[in-house]
Amino acid sequence: MSRIGKTPVVIPPGVTVTRSDSLLTVKGPKGELSMTIHPDIDVHIGDGEVSVSRPSDIKEHRALHGMTRARIQNMVTGVTAGYSRNLELVGVGYRAEVKDGKLFLVVGYSHQIVLFPPAGITIKANSPISISVEGIDKQLVGHVAAKIRSFRPPEPYKGKGIKYENEKIRRKAGKTAKT
C-alpha cells in the first residue's frame, strides 16, 4: 500500500469537496478547483476527510493512487492558503515591472519581454529584481514560474539570469590565460 495514498486528506473548515461521476471539485475561501479522477481509482468523501483507494497492486494503479491523493491535497491547500513562487533577476540592468497585470522584463535582449499571466495567476514585482507568482493551482503557479525563468535561465559562469529564490547555481571556472 502506498504510504502517501493511504493517508486521508483532512478537509479544513470552510472547504467543501464534492464529486459528480469522475469530476472532483474543491471549493474554499480563495476559489474553486476541479480535477478528473481516473475511472480505476475510488475516491470516498467522508466526515471531514477524503480517502483514496485502488483496486489492485499493478504498477499503474499504484502510481495513480499516490498521485491522486497528492493532487487532492494540493487542491485543498490551494483553496485555503494558496501557492507562491519567488524569482530573482541577477545581472546588470536586469529588471522586472508589472503594469496593468502584465509582466515586463528587461533581461539583456534588444527588446522587452511581455508576459500575459493566465487566469488565476497573479504576478507581483516586489522590487525591480524580485518577482512573485501567486495562485491557487500549484501546477499552474510552477508552470508560469518556469516559463518566466526560461526567458533567461541562469548561466554557470557569472550566474546571470532569472533564478528561483533559493536556487543554487553551480558555478564553473572560466578560461585560464595561456602563459
pLDDT digits (tens, 9 = 90+) for 81-91: 999 999 999 99
- The answer on pLDDT for 1 being more than 80 is no
Task: Give me the mean pLDDT over the 11-35 stretch.
Answer: 93
Q: At 61, which amino acid appears?
A: H
Region 152-168: what's the mean pLDDT?
Answer: 93
Q: Identify whether the C-beta of residue 162 lies closer than 8 Å to the C-beta of residue 87.
A: yes
How many other C-beta atoms can be found within 10 angstroms of the C-beta atom of residue 42? 14
* Whether pLDDT at 176 is above 90: no
Q: Which CATH superfamily is domain 3-80 in?
A: Ribosomal protein L6 (3.90.930.12)
pLDDT exceeds cutoff 70 at 153: yes
- What is the CA angle 118-120-123, rounded to 5? 70
- At 110 the pLDDT is 95
Query: For residue 135, what is its C-alpha cell?
Result: 495562485
**Interval 135-164 mean pLDDT:** 95
Q: Which of 56, 146, 75 is nearest to 67 (CA)?
A: 75
pLDDT of residue 2 exceeding 70 = no
Compute the chain's Rg from CA coordinates: 21
Q: Is 80 exceeded by the pLDDT of residue 179? A: no
Query: Does 27 score more than 60 pLDDT?
Result: yes
With beta carbons less than 8 A apart as the criterion, state whether 130 and 86 touch: yes
Q: Is residue 6 over pLDDT 90?
A: no
Q: Look up the pTM and report it.
A: 0.89
| pLDDT above 80 (res 23) | yes
Could you please state the CATH topology (level 3) that the domain comprising 83-164 is classified under: Outer Surface Protein A; domain 3 (3.90.930)
The CATH 3.90.930.12 domain(s) of the chain lie at 3-80, 83-164
Q: Exposed, middle or buried, 104 (CB in 10 Å: 0-12/13-18/19+)?
A: middle
One-letter amino acid identity for 142?
G
- All three cell numbers of 83, joined, read 501557492
Kindly state the average pLDDT of the residues 117-136: 95
